[in-house]
Structure 1
Amino acid sequence: MQPILHLPSADALTRFESLALQLDDPRPYPPEDALQQVGHALMTELLDLVIETPLEDFAAVICEALIGAFHSAAQRIERDADKARDSLNVLVRDFDGSEILDVEIQDATRLARAADVATLALELVRDAASASYTTATGDVWTPWKGAIRGSRVTAAQIEAREALRIRKAAKHAAADPGATVVAFRASPQANAVEDANRIFDALNWAHAQWPDMALATSGAKGGEKLAIRWAQQKRVTLVLAKPDFDRDGRAAPFRANDEMLALEPVCVLTLANSLNSDRAQAGKPFGPALNLAQKAQDKGVLHYPVRARDHR
């Protein structure tokens, strides 16, 4: 009697595995865990190489360049897939039943699907490298430009300007713009244990109030990086309103606040200074956080400052 092979059900497959199995290619794809291992190994090797050397001063830029390389490659292949789909739409529209066009349609379909799987493969490597970077350094990688689709490792990320464009288009079409936005700004020095605990408490509260929330932040160091890490863990979409210093100069952090408020948040959370007493005494309250709080109050937007537990 032949042994019975128990194949995994469709529900047990990841999106990458499911798409890879649909392709008519005799060459097997690398397993998903192998792709993730490559990302972890590359980042670990790179960190081991630069730590405790003069390059350590530039470790953040070097490591983020490695992650960004996989991100850029994934975007490039995704653009190829989009072009293949555009060609496919034209071929399907003009299909006349001929064998030649039928072959071209099959080739375009095959190319688009293969590019989709290749994109997912690179995203798995990228996200694993990003996770190892965060584990080793405590920093959170965000793309210098562009967007990140959500995965099991990272939350989806979009730029605030793109979110505004989509929202305006949706309003023009009288459609629901989608996720409810909660805006958050915090001091760069607000990354002590006390800060992390209360930031997570505040964001967990917001998530309970608005389960479909998207988190808008500028991506600044300190408290906002902690918020980004929370969003990744909770798979909450990130809207990054990054300051454009080349365009706006010193006013850039405040222009970023305007972009966040243009998203019409239901709530604004701010932490203008560290909740650690030593850090709070050593530094001044963070101006952009105070500015966002004031502008939110002026617009009648619900605002809650993040406070220590003993404050009511």
Structure 2
Amino acid sequence: MADTSARTRSSAAGKRCSTIARSPAHTVSQTAHALEELQLYGYRPFDEPDPRPMPDAQRLAVAVADIFDALVATLEDTRMEPDLEEVLWGQVNLFHRATARIERSLDENEQAQRRLQREQDGSEVKSTELERLTAEGLTPIERRNCMDMMRDHAATEFSHHTGSTWRPRPGSMVNRRHMTAALIDSRDFLAAKRRAETEVMLPVGPKVALTGGTDFNDHHLIWGKLDQVRTKHPDMVLLHGGSPAAACSASSCGGAVPSPALARPSVITMTSGRTFGSLR
């Protein structure tokens, strides 16, 4: 009886082993593969905000200084020392070019936002897409500022090791760290002052320029056209050449302001036999 039970258990175990051996191997699902990629490489969709913090400013400054110290210690007192300044210049230019690339992506984001602003129709789809582009534009701004800071640190190290000031060969270098609120307010003040000085003799309102030949004396037609324009633009400013004859003289009787023609004003052009009342 004992032998029979042992043989039965052995036979059952053999069947289980045979079943396990014959069972097919389970393949990895697509979900498991995606989760593994996320764990290994930290992949994230492009249109989601990056939760990772920006690098520490102090550690960045130390890293940039280490780069220059390593290059100087390696190339100094060797036959490569004459090329050391060029190599160090290239290190600063590396961060400068990276800043320019990020600036281009920011410009593309800005153009896309302007396009979506024009396409807004009140739908949730357009609104969500605009919100996504706005959120995407924040990270490049922080990246650009970080590259600016690294470039400035690198330029300082370049000056320290070479004794000369770093300058980009094409273009110019903008230092956003020096763009303080006081500097911005000062520039706004000076711009407003210049604008007030240049516009002191320029009345406010849409500019309407009138031109006509010396042989055109139909003042009723001139005043009629000016009345039509004034109906559309009550605060209009009439501009003419200041001539004492013909059309200019007739228009000045209506209180025109003599002034040279400005850039792209509203224009009424009148000639003998024909009248053009086009507004541009």
Does TM, normalized by the shorter one, top 0.5? Answer: no
Q: Structure with the greater relative contact order (CA < 8 A, sep ≥ 6): 1 or 2?
A: 1
TM-score computed with the length of structure 2 as normaliser: 0.45
TM-score computed with the length of structure 1 as normaliser: 0.40
Larger radius of gyration: 2
